[in-house]
């Protein structure tokens, strides 16, 4: 603990010296989330991370999350230095949607508006008309559907299915999934609900349809934390990355929070409700990147100009 405290103090000092602010996702380690809050940074979902980074006056952003979050920050604030604890932290959705294959798919359907999830590369965003995160996807797609537009949706097929079912929009879906949320199992969840009949079920829409259908609330990370406070149930079964429990438990200190079951067998499940790439962020590599200034995000300018259009549309969209 004394060592951890010294590390935190070193980071506080470096943040001041480097005119830097820490922007962290809810799936990062509690120590990172606590430090981000305490030092005037932010802990939030991917949409609010983007807003916060673009509005904050610090000249350096330290983005603790996965690569698309750092790229989004750089696309929106090219004048800022954007560093990540590690550039290795990717996302299975980003990996599952290579820009050249995606562009070829879009070219086959020129009559369709292209909507992509924020969990994509800058090149995929540059090919899109709209970027959305899970907190705003339903509203944006309902708006486009209302204008009679037919859509391409990429890359998360579960979120795409969910949005399609709820808006009735005509959507062609790319076939990719999040390796964390794809593991939640409806049958085991049904069994767990029998043990806790008083529980509400909170589900991130990257989860399979069978799990989403059992939910009392479906939403982005920040929407799930809100639902934990507004639903009256004393117990919450939560189908998203378990790192969210840190902020959720702060929001509802008297409620019991339980992880939704994954494959049911720790030996076979690939992720066990914690994103392996989010887990690459730690206090030590935050300190290192502040000292060395490496692990910097760069986005090629033509790509950036393409991607900023579709991202800015999302930020300007009024729900
Ligand atoms: P949120 O936008 O809900 O924070 O989700 C980001 C993410 O990567 C979920 O797996
Ligand atoms: Fe990507 Fe899933 Fe990790 Fe989120 S939890 S960053 S969607 S792999």
DSSP designation for 49 = H
Residue from 92, 120, 224, 269 whose mutation best tests the ligand 2 pocket (most atoms within 8 A of CB): 92
Q: What are phi and psi of 203, to 5 degrees?
A: -135, 130
DSSP-derived 3-state class of residue 124 = helix
Q: Decide if 180 contacts 241 (C-beta within 8 A).
A: yes
pLDDT at 2: 87
Is-contact 97 123, C-beta < 8 A?
no
C-alpha distances out from residue 259 to 67, 102, 110, 158, 173, Å: 26, 34, 42, 20, 29
pLDDT digits (tens, 9 = 90+) for 119-176: 999 999 999 999 999 999 999 999 999 999 999 999 999 999 999 999 999 999 999 9
The topology (CATH level 3) of 2-89+278-298 is Rossmann fold (3.40.50)
Atom of ligand 1 nearest to the CA of 221: 3
Q: How far is CA 44 from each of CA 48, 53, 225, 279, rounded to the nearest angstrom? A: 6, 11, 10, 16
Cβ-based neighbour number of residue 277 at 10 Å: 21
Which ligand is the nearest neighbour of the Cα of 274? 2
Q: Cβ(185)–Cβ(193) under 8 Å? A: no
Q: Is the CB of 275 under 6 A from ligand 2?
A: yes
Torsions phi, psi of 81, nearest 5?
-90, 125
Instruction: State both tokens at 94.
Output: 């980003």
The structural domains of the chain, with segments of one domain joined by +, span 2-89+278-298, 93-178, 181-259
**The pLDDT of residue 1 is above 90:** no
What average pLDDT does the structure give for the chain? Answer: 96
ipTM computed for the complex? 0.98
Q: Which two tokens stand for residue 176?
A: 């990719």
- Tokens representing residue 145 in the block: 């559907």
CATH class of the domain comprising 93-178: alpha beta
**Strand, helix or coil for residue 45:** coil
The candidate with the shortest Cα–Cα distance to 27, out of 186, 224, 233, is 224
CB of 68 closer than 8 Å to CB of 307: no
Cβ neighbours, 10 Å, residue 112? 18
**CATH homologous superfamily for 181-259?**
NadA-like (3.40.50.10800)
pLDDT band at residue 310 using 50, 70 and 90 as cut-offs: very high
Q: Do domains 2-89+278-298 and 93-178 have the same CATH topology?
A: yes
CA-wise closest residue to 86 among 284, 301, 258, 239: 284
Q: Which atom of ligand 1 is nearest to 65's Cα?
A: 8
Report residue 302 as tokens: 């033509």
Q: Over the stretch 236-292, which tens digit does the pLDDT of each residue have?
A: 999 999 999 999 999 999 999 999 999 755 555 666 899 999 999 999 999 999 999
Packing angle of the helix pair 301-316, 46-55 (nearest 10 deg): 110
CA distances from 107 to 111, 112, 164 (A): 9, 10, 22
- pLDDT tens column, 21-78: 999 999 999 999 999 999 999 999 999 999 999 999 999 999 999 999 999 999 999 9
Atom 7, ligand 2: residue with shortest CA distance: 178
Calpha distance 78→82 (Å, rounded): 9
Q: Is the pLDDT of residue 319 over 90?
A: no
pLDDT at 91 over 80: yes
């Amino acid at each position: 603990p004394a060592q951890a405290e010294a590390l935190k103090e070193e980071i506080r000092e470096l943040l001041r010296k480097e005119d830097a602010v820490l922007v962290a996702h809810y799936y990062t380690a509690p120590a990172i989330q606590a430090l981000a809050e305490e030092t005037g940074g932010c802990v939030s979902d991917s949409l609010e991370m983007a807003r916060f980074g673009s509005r904050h006056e610090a000249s350096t952003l330290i983005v603790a999350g996965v690569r698309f979050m750092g790229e989004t920050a750089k696309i929106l604030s090219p004048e800022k230095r954007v560093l990540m604890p590690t550039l290795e932290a990717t996302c299975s959705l980003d990996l599952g949607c290579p820009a050249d294959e995606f562009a070829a798919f879009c070219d086959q359907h020129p009559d369709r508006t292209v909507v992509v999830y924020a969990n994509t590369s800058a090149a995929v965003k540059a090919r899109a008309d709209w970027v959305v995160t899970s907190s705003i996807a339903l509203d944006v797609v309902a708006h486009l559907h209302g204008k009679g537009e037919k859509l391409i949706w990429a890359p998360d097929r579960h979120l795409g299915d969910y949005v399609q079912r709820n808006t009735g929009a005509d959507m062609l879906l790319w076939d990719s999934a999040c390796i964390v949320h794809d593991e939640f199992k409806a049958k085991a969840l049904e069994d767990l609900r029998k043990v806790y009949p008083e529980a509400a079920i909170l589900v991130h829409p990257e989860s399979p349809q069978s799990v989403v259908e059992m939910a009392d609330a479906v939403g982005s990370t920040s929407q799930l934390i809100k639902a934990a406070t507004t639903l009256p149930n004393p117990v919450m079964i939560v189908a998203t990355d378990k790192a969210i429990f840190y902020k959720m438990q702060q929001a509802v200190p008297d409620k019991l929070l339980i992880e939704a079951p994954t494959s049911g067998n720790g030996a076979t499940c690939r992720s066990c409700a914690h994103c392996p790439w989010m887990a690459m962020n730690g206090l030590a590599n935050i300190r290192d990147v502040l000292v060395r200034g490496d692990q910097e995000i760069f986005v090629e300018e033509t790509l950036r100009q393409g991607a900023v259009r579709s991202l800015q549309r999302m930020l300007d969209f009024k729900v």
